Amino acid sequence: MRLAITSGEPAGIGPDLLLALAADPAFVPPAELVVLGDRAVFAARAEALGLPFDWPDADPERSGDQAQGFRFRHLPAAAPVTPGRLDSANARHVLDLLDHAADGCVAGDYDAMVTAPLHKGVINDAGVAFTGHTEYLADRVGGHPVMMLVAGDLRVALATTHLPLADVPAAITGEVLTTVLEILHRSMADWLGKPQPRILVAGLNPHAGESGHLGDEEIRIIGPALEASRARGIQAVGPLPADTLFTPRHLEHADAVLAMYHDQGLPVLKYAGFGRAVNVTLGLPIIRTSVDHGTALDLAGTGRAEHGSLAAAIALACEQAERRAA
């Protein structure tokens, strides 16, 4: 098995995480892990952290079974990199890493891709309209992306992803919800081996609209979309008030939760499992997982970044790839 791992924003903690993970005696690489990045950046960061960096170059093309372990594919940065200091001149480099990994997955050179964190702001500062990995990869390889974070048995998917809060209500339509629920249902059925995964669906408004007194999206849009999904055999429960949905009584028999927007569902999941959670993009023709955190510029080059989420993302990518190959 062969995975592509993008190192993300070079001034952030992506290189730190990969170097620390490779040096961790408790981590056994489950596949050939091809790290995409600038070799000079990794060499300088390894020296600063006192970590080894002796990974051989990856073969240009996949050939037969791949040996487990770290390999490197050099894609040069455009400007010198200083840990903790963003430079918009390197925005294209960050996107080149994504393009190489995604195109390689489509071509069959990689079985899955894992992404270290990038910085959306500096990419936009470079003049590239960019809202996040999820949307960018969908534009590159096709599909309808559904963002989901996983922490143990808690799985939270999003109906909308990286949008200003003011734009969320208009983005929640019956078509969007039925499509997302179909993708989530199919993904969870494959993932868990359950033909009827139970999906809890949050309302948009406080108290799920309280019978229309606090907003009517639940009555006009969400409720009918759930009815249509249930008619197609999807076990979608809701709309439920988000402030009580994430309690043990509700979650005990749930296989996944669908939140309406980013900060409705993810704060709960990250509180429950930050540092070991994994970001998964459903609905793409390729497998992509990622860490549950950002670039942490203040930690870059300090040796204080934790690599637990990266290890979990690699493990989950391998698990999904093995299931897809079976």
Q: Does residue 105 carry a pLDDT above 80?
A: yes
Task: Tell me which residue has tokens 């999941």.
Answer: 269
pLDDT score for 63: 65
pLDDT-above-70 percentage for the chain? 99
What was the pLDDT predicted at 102?
98
The pLDDT of residue 326 is: 78
Which token pair is 121?
Answer: 């702001």
Q: What is residue 64's predicted lDDT score, i.e. its pLDDT? A: 60
pLDDT grade for 65, boundaries at 50, 70 and 90: low
pTM for this one? 0.93
State the average pLDDT over residues 62-75: 84
Q: How far is CA 218 from CA 172, 206, 221, 243, in A?
A: 10, 11, 6, 15
Instruction: Give the domain ranges of the chain.
Output: 1-142+286-326, 144-283
Q: Which fold has domain 1-142+286-326?
A: Isopropylmalate Dehydrogenase (3.40.718)
The domain 144-283 is placed in CATH, from the list 3.90.1150.10, 3.40.718.10, 3.20.140.10, 3.90.1010.10, at: 3.40.718.10
- Count Cα neighbours of 52 within 13 Å in the Cβ-side half-sphere: 9
Q: Measured in whole angstroms, how far is the alpha carbon of residue 242 from the centre of its chain?
A: 22
- Asked if the domains at 1-142+286-326 and 144-283 fall in one CATH topology, the answer is yes
Q: Average pLDDT, whole number, for the chain? A: 95
Write the CA distances from 205 to 108, 155, 254, integer angstroms: 43, 21, 21
Q: Which residue has the tokens 């993810």?
A: 266
